[in-house]
A and B are shown apart, each in its own frame.
Chain A
Amino acid sequence: AQKITQTQPGMFVQEKEAVTLDCTYDTSDPSYGLFWYKQPSSGEMIFLIYQGSYDQQNATEGRYSLNFQKARKSANLVISASQLGDSAMYFCAMREGWADSSYKLIFGSGTRLLVRP
């Protein structure tokens, strides 16, 4: 079974509008963390935001927020006020547990976001 599922291969959004990128995850470990990374066309991986399984509040970082719904096992990324520079691939990833193995990141297949002017 897929541990991280991103069901939207591609999305469009109008500049200045908000967009939600979906991510669902599967784990039986009570301790886990969820990440979102951005990969622009230049290829580097840019960390955006992190949510721990025990965090009470949804994570926010500037225009990025993570809509964490634990019971539904979803961790959607919300980008507010989209900018042309937000056009990129976005990956959801998960780490499980707190042991050495928790350093492993499991990635979804990504969503390509295109921001229209």
Chain B
Amino acid sequence: NAGVTQTPKFQVLKTGQSMTLQCAQDMNHEYMSWYRQDPGMGLRLIHYSVGAGITDQGEVPNGYNVSRSTTEDFPLRLLSAAPSQTSVYFCASSTGTDSYEQYFGPGTRLTVT
């Protein structure tokens, strides 16, 4: 079991560029989510999905798109990168049973110049 994997680990973008952060899990979890962590702060929810084909917005969705065509993958798209999107991005998945514990990926550190 690889758990939750994210690629790339690091990325530098110029303002206005677009890119996709990849997230995959091999635990057959229905629930997946994307968080961002800004310096000195806790994580904030961007988008989440409760199953293939179903997505919804979190606390800070502006500037990001998601889709969920398979149970395993949940990519996050930055449409037109802005310096305010410089952050560390975490993908997480959950079984949705008992505690709803979320398993986090290692994170992607994104810098937008």
Binding site for B on A (CB under 8 A): 4, 33, 35, 37, 43-45, 47, 50, 52, 91, 93, 95, 100, 102-110
Could you give 20 example pairs across A and B, Cβ below 8 Å? Answer: A4-B42, A35-B99, A35-B101, A43-B107, A44-B104, A44-B107, A45-B107, A50-B101, A52-B99, A95-B100, A100-B50, A103-B48, A103-B50, A104-B48, A105-B35, A105-B43, A108-B42, A109-B40, A109-B41, A110-B41
Interface residues of B in 61-112 (CB under 8 A from A): 88, 90, 92, 94, 96, 99-104, 106-107, 109
Residue ID in chain B nearest A99 by CB atoms? B50
A109 to chain B, nearest CB (A): 5
Contact A105:B45 (CB < 8 A) given known A43-B106, A45-B90, A100-B50: yes
Contact A33:B48 (CB < 8 A) given known A44-B104, A45-B90, A104-B33: no
Q: Which residues of A contact B42 (CB under 8 A)?
A: 4, 91, 93, 107-110
Compute how far the CA of A35 lies from the CA of B35 in the bound complex, rounded to whole angstroms: 16
Q: Which among B94, B103, B106 is the interface contact of A103 at CB below 8 angstroms?
A: B94
Chain B, interface size category, equals 20 to 34
- Other A-B pairs beyond A43-B88, A110-B40, 4, CB < 8 Å: A103-B33, A104-B45, A105-B33, A107-B43
A103 engages B99 (CB within 8 Å): no
A103 engages B31 (CB within 8 Å): yes
Residue ID in chain B nearest A42 by CB atoms? B106
A65 to chain B, nearest CB (A): 16
A33 engages B100 (CB within 8 Å): yes
Q: Which among A45, A102, A106 is the interface contact of B104 at CB below 8 angstroms?
A: A45
Q: Which 9 A-B pairs give the minimum distances between C-beta atoms?
A: A107-B42, A45-B104, A50-B99, A107-B43, A100-B50, A103-B31, A109-B42, A43-B107, A108-B42
A33 engages B107 (CB within 8 Å): no
B107 engages A103 (CB within 8 Å): no
Q: Which residues of B contact A43 (CB under 8 A)?
A: 88, 106-107, 109
